[in-house]
Structure 1
């Protein structure tokens, strides 16, 4: 898995960056080669599928697949 807690605002290095950070709560399972981008928040008891690309808030007790979206369990 990879974590990227910084993101570019636009094309080119002079456009600036964001640094919201990444937050992963307890009891979270993250599959192989998943990528978490800046601003990702994963709440407790959540499962992230292999190769998922995440970039927003995901609520507790969900399964995140490919494409990354909340799926109630």
Structure 2
């Protein structure tokens, strides 16, 4: 199931799957060509084909006022905290705290330090 909050935008060619439950908070922006998948293939037993091992479905929570850049990927089990920014092309495999910025290598930065550094210039 997919639940979208108020005043969200999902841009062109994005894929939002609902199999493992996807919740998107108010005023969230999802860039074009973004893929959000709240499920994953189970592949624990090498003697059974992956397609026959089923899915794990933890779900994804995207809190309010999050900005997900173009082409980002958000995978099962992730929580994106309020006000965080996901850079274009990032692959997010772990939860991101509120007011953080996560880049291509899923490296996390405090948004307040970015604002401070840009104002200091």
TM-score (norm 2): 0.57
Runs of 4+ in 1 over 4 A off after TM superposition: none
TM-score (norm 1): 0.90
Matched position secondary structure for 1:13? helix
Deviation at 1:15, TM superposition (A): 2.0
Aligned length: 73
Question: Whose helix proportion is higher, 1 or 2?
Answer: 2
Question: Whose strand proportion is higher, 1 or 2?
Answer: 1
The structure having more radius of gyration, on CA atoms, is 2
What is the match of residue 5 of structure 1?
A: 38
Q: With CA pairs under 8 Å and 6+ residues apart, which has the higher RCO, 1 or 2?
A: 1
Q: CA RMSD in A?
A: 1.2
- Which 5+ residue runs of structure 1 have no aligned equivalent? none
